[in-house]
């Protein structure tokens, strides 16, 4: 039925073939189907996914891709049919931003129902350095399909997602603006700060000492003090007199562009408060380096991570 719905919604505008996907939702809280679509404007692989998300719906499920992590994303959000509509156009392969693109329309309702429509160029995973080819469906058309009432019976048939509790908790009581505010107050006065953003529990900003912008990210987490998982992570960490464990590193940025390096300070307090500070020598992940080394030293990153304001921030109302 999932594939049939998508086929029906697209067939009037072009040719549909090579459909793959379950006829009915399974026992999990999501189901998806993929087909190939072609019209006068181009051809693409089109995928639909219907899901039941845990309630309350996490902001991560409706937010645009973070520009610090996905600098080539072009995304907007707005209200549509009583839901949050997220529209995104991004490179299918972020290492080749001028090549094939992927368009996505996601409709997420407050009760956890979600429909995601995406289209991407055929053959994008072959590794061929093909030039960008036009996609057949506009974001407006993807929105129309995602908002079709034909998905409602399928969404109603999906079981509620199981309750999952992880020992690792991003502290979503700390808004991004509070995180970037604390980080900014810990910086040298000579640093220029811009491009602040993030989500609850995670914030980022760029700093510039006049020799090139650098991305600084801060993640705040809450762990159970005796959790075995986090104890293993920090088992070889340096222990400070107050019981805080700290690890520092300098390495090539795993998701950085050419010449990008990443400096990191990771701290865990005795009560389970973890603050992780990362810095790149460029303004975002996946972008080439703007300078040889980051603007802030590891010592200065440590000062940010060790700020006494983090504990106050996690206790204050958001």
pLDDT of residue 316: 63
Average pLDDT rounded to a whole number, residues 11-28: 69
pTM, 2 dp? 0.77
Average pLDDT rounded to a whole number, residues 298-314: 93
Reported as a single tens digit per residue, the pLDDT across 146-191 is 999 999 999 999 888 876 555 445 667 789 999 999 999 999 999 9
User: What domains lie within the chain, and their CATH numbers?
Assistant: 2-157 (3.40.1000), 169-315 (3.40.1000)
Residue 194, Cβ density class (10 Å: 0-12 exposed, 13-18 middle, ≥19 buried): exposed
pLDDT of residue 131: 58
Question: Read out DSSP for 112-143?
Answer: SEEEEEEEE-TTTTS---PPP---SS-HHHHH
Burial state string for 101-137 with b = 16 or more CB within 10 A and e = fewer than 16: bbbbbbbbbeebbbbbbbbbbbebeeeeeeeeeebbb
Reported as a single tens digit per residue, the pLDDT across 69-125 is 899 999 999 999 999 999 999 988 887 887 888 999 999 999 999 999 999 988 654
Spacing of C-alpha 249 from chain mean position: 23
Average pLDDT rounded to a whole number, residues 243-257: 94
pLDDT of residue 170: 66
Rounded mean pLDDT of the chain?
89
From the CB of residue 99, how many other CB atoms can be counted at a distance below 10 Å? 18
Half-sphere exposure of residue 317, counting CA atoms within 13 Å on the CB side?
0
Average pLDDT rounded to a whole number, residues 141-150: 96
């Amino acid at each position: 039925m999932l594939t049939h719905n998508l086929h029906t919604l697209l067939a009037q505008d072009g040719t549909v073939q090579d459909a793959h996907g379950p006829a009915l939702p399974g026992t999990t809280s999501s189901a998806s189907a993929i087909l190939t679509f072609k019209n006068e404007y181009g051809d693409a692989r089109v995928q639909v996914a219907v899901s039941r998300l845990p309630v309350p719906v996490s902001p991560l499920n409706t937010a645009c891709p973070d520009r610090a992590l996905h600098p080539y994303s072009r995304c907007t959000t707005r209200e549509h049919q009583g839901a949050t509509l997220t529209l995104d156009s991004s490179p299918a392969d972020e290492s080749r931003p001028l090549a094939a693109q992927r368009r996505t329309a996601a409709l997420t309702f407050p009760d956890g129902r979600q429909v995601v429509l995406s289209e991407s160029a055929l053959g994008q995973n072959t590794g061929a350095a093909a030039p960008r080819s036009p996609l057949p469906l506009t974001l407006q058309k993807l929105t129309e399909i995602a908002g079709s009432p034909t998905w409602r019976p399928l969404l109603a048939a999906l079981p509620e997602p199981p309750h999952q509790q992880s020992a690792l908790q991003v502290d979503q009581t700390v808004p991004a603006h509070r995180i970037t505010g604390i980080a900014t107050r810990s910086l040298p006065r000579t640093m220029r700060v811009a491009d602040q953003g993030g989500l609850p529990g995670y914030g980022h900003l760029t700093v510039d000492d006049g020799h090139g912008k650098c991305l600084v990210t801060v993640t705040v987490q809450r762990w159970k003090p005796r959790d075995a998982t986090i104890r293993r992570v920090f088992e070889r960490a340096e222990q400070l007199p107050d019981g805080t464990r700290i690890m520092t590193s300098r390495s090539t940025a795993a998701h950085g562009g050419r010449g990008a390096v990443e400096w990191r300070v990771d701290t865990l307090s005795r009560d389970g408060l973890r603050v992780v500070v990362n810095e790149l020598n460029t303004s975002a992940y996946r972008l080439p380096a703007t300078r040889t080394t980051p603007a802030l030293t590891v010592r200065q990153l440590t000062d940010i991570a060790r700020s006494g304001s983090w504990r106050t921030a996690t206790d204050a109302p958001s």
